[in-house]
Amino acid sequence: MEEIVFEARIIEWRGPAPFFFAPVPDEHVGAIRYAAMTASYGWGVVPVVATVGGTEFATSLFPRDGGYLLPIKVAVQKSEGVGFGDRIRARLRVGRPGPR
């Protein structure tokens, strides 16, 4: 799967920590679902390697209302100086981190 690049405003959702997420635009949901057929490890979460600004991190997309939310970890918030309401540009690819 190619990288997905999108912009989103950081939202707060009182689900599992870290509480701040970037909603993945609907136009990418089909590609993520297709890639997740071989990459997902259950519970509907999808492992990804994401980049926000200059910070790359491994996480899992959370399914929500037919789409996905990208968790914005506290370490990413601190390193990129972003938080609730900020607009970010994110890149992600489905799968677990591999060798470089």
Q: 46 falls in which pLDDT band (50, 70, 90)? A: very high
Rounded to two decimals, what is the model's pTM? Answer: 0.88
DSSP 7-60: EEE-EE-SSSTT-EEEEPPGGGHHHHHHHHHHH--STT-EEEEEEETTEEEEEE
**39-45 long-range contacts, Cβ below 8 Å, gap at least 24?**
39/94, 39/95, 39/96
- Residue 3, pLDDT > 70, answer yes
- Residue 37, pLDDT > 80, answer yes
- Residue 44, pLDDT > 70, answer yes
Residue ranges covered by each domain of the chain: 4-94
- CATH number belonging to the domain at 4-94, selected among 2.40.30.100, 3.30.43.10, 3.30.360.10, 3.40.50.1820: 2.40.30.100
pLDDT of residue 98: 67
Q: Going by C-beta distance under 8 Å and a sequence separation of 6 or more, which residues neighbour residue 17?
A: none
pLDDT of residue 29: 94
Identify the helix (H) or strand (E) that includes residue 1: none
pLDDT of residue 42: 66
